[in-house]
Amino acid sequence: MEDQLFEISYAFNTFYTLMAGALVMWMAAGFTMLEAGFVRRRNTAEIVTKNIGLYSIACCMFLLAGYKAMYAGDSWRGIIPDFDFSFGFSEFGGDASVQNLEDDGTPYYASAADFFFQVVFVATAVSIVSGAVAERMNQWPFFGLAAAIAFFIYPVQGFWNWGGGFLTADDGYGYSDYAGSGTVHLLGAACALAAAIFIGPRVGKYSSDGKTNKLYGANIPIAALGTFILWLGWFGFNGGSQLAIDTAENANAVAHVFMNTNLAACGGVVACLLVARIFFGKTNIIYALNGAISGLVAITASPHTPSGYEAVLIGAIGGLLCYGSLVFIEQFLKIDDPVGAISAHGTAGIFGVMVVPFTNSDATFGAQAVGVLAIMLWGFVLTYAFLFLLNLVAPVRASDEIQKKGLDAEEIGIEAYPEF
């Protein structure tokens, strides 16, 4: 009887992990649609190509070494994990697939399911970079950056938090990040910030007199669809991070995470709608869409501990911080971010990590701050250094002529909207 109960529990948890991963994978479609809506018509096919390419490249590179490094166990002072290149498929099948153990040694889901669930998180981090460098980064240098993030940049700092590294809650500083406000979203935003600064703004974004020009996207309905897809995928992102649903306790925890994830997004939208209407007299849909995403990012660090009302407040503050950050980065820092990815995932990500101690007594502000600084510096410095070296070999930024003509014509040869 115990063996039968174990097999049912094991199968149930494995199926849940796989379905949660499938929802997170669907976020790739959300990022694609969001970015396709926010870029101009002449760059639409190219941004779609980048998104399907980065997802595939990230999965392959994470299999090559990233996954093993992230859970290596052995490392240099808890900072740089051991990289194992003797990869194979045995670790994802047969008897060796039962590798995820509870404290008493009982396995609770398949290792292959864990790999799938983790790799779609990697692709999410890389997708954040795609939007921030849209319309002016050459395609194959971007694919090179995607490979570097999935192969090395992401797994190392993922190891710090989830693989037993120096940030871990058990043996290190005590950094707490349930589903990755910092580990996934802040890391992606830090990489995106470095790339946006290195590449520079799009042609025509800033005038010689310092004026900021609005370069509106071609398809707001598609961007809204992308936001709703991301919203749906986030239930797998946060809910799946419970990693089990085989007991009443786990089921209740997952239900609470789902509720808070949804409420935080709603709080982000409502806050941005109200602020836009009160202060600017118009309900700006672009800020509302980013409000939803920033609310989701903010709750991701600890969706299991706040009450429903607290989740709404966390999402609302995350949305407002994103709103202010979008204006500050574009108007004052003169950093061009076509989709607002740096603000929605970076600013809201920092807030999400730092607000955790208010609802989780096991977290401390000091440990959270150490995690934020470590992740930001790691992502920014390594991305900037990689692009600097890559630019010596192949130009990272598309020329002004190509930007004016559109990357679709140069890189793809197919227009997204040929009938126009």
Answer yes or no: are the C-beta atoms of 44 and 417 closer than 8 Å. Answer: yes
Burial class of residue 314 in the structure, from the number of CB atoms within 10 Å of its CB (0-12 exposed, 13-18 middle, 19+ buried): buried
Spell out the per-residue pLDDT of the chain, length 420, in tens.
667 777 888 888 999 999 999 999 999 999 999 999 999 999 999 999 999 999 999 999 999 989 989 988 777 777 888 877 655 444 544 343 444 555 544 446 778 899 999 999 999 999 999 999 999 999 999 999 999 999 999 999 999 999 889 998 666 789 999 999 999 999 999 999 999 999 999 999 999 888 999 999 999 999 999 999 999 999 999 999 998 888 899 999 999 999 999 999 999 999 999 999 998 888 989 999 999 999 999 999 999 999 999 999 999 999 999 999 999 999 999 999 999 999 999 999 999 999 999 999 999 999 999 999 999 999 999 999 999 999 999 999 999 999 999 999 999 988 888 865
Q: Which residues of 249-261 are buried (b: 16+ CB within 10 A; e: fewer)?
A: ebeebbebbbbbb
Residues in the chain: 420
By the 8 A CB rule, do 176 and 168 touch? no
pTM of the complete model: 0.94
* Residue position matching structure tokens 């004052």: 332
What is the C-alpha separation between 412 and 140, in angstroms, rounded? 12
- Give the separation between CA 240 and CA 24, rounded to whole angstroms: 9
List the chain domain ranges.
2-412
Tell me, which fold does domain 2-412 have in CATH?
Ammonium transporter fold (1.10.3430)
